[in-house]
Each structure stands twice: as structure tokens, then as C-alpha cells.
Amino acid sequence: MEKKRTGRRIVRKATDQERTVYRKAVDEELVGMEANRALGRDIVRARRELSATVAELKTIREELGISLTELAERTGMTIGNLSRLENMEGPNPTIETLRRYARGIGHRIEIAVVADS
């Protein structure tokens, strides 16, 4: 083991075994990072799709001239919760929340399974 003095610190050269262990750890970390990036892209894509659905519901509500107050009465949801939903603030809404909103404006939510393109 070769040691070299630099000021007060003692620096030693890594062994071949240490370099191998380090390289393996770095490689595993890189694989994990790419998996996390892919997951993040999927989450962003899903959030955009959900936002588009909510925006469509809001547009329909506005075209029908239904106020948030009236929608709150129809759905039993609070105006604040409806506003947060329309502005996509907070976590993802449940399917039941979207269904209640849609029923409140005389529509329904349909869920389909579609092949990935």
C-alpha cells in the first residue's frame, strides 16, 4: 500500500479490490437513477393526462354556466375542494371525486384500457 504525504493528510491509493467494489456501486446507482428518471417521466405524463381531463370538466362546467357554488351543492363537495381540483393543486384526485364532479355537470367519466403506443 503506497502512502503519500500531502500536508497533514495521508492519502493512499485505492486497491484494485476497492476500485472494483466502488465501480460496482456506482454502476448500480446509475441503473437506479435511470429507473427513477423513467418513473418520474411516467408520473409527469400521467399528471398531464389527468390535468387535461380536469380542464375539460372545468370547460364544460363553464360552458353550461354552472358556478362553483352550484356545483358544490350538486356534488356535496366544498367550493374550496372544487377550486383546488380545477387548479390541480394538491395530490391526484380519486376516480370517485372525478365522477362526482362529472355527475354534477350532467356528464360521466369513462375509464378505458388502451394499448400503449
**CATH number, residue 25:** 1.10.260.40
> Is it the case that residue 24 has pLDDT exceeding 90?
yes
CA dihedral 97, 99, 100, 105 (to 10 degrees): 130
pLDDT at 6: 59
pLDDT tens profile 80-98: 999 999 998 877 899 999 9
Q: Is position 88 within any domain?
A: yes
Which range of residues forms the domain containing residue 71? 15-104
pLDDT tens profile 26-65: 989 988 899 999 999 999 998 999 999 999 999 999 999 9
Q: Is position 8 within any domain?
A: no
- Specify the 3-state DSSP secondary structure of 9: strand
Helical packing angle, 16-64 and 95-104, nearest 10° = 10
pLDDT at 9: 76
Q: Is position 116 within any domain?
A: no
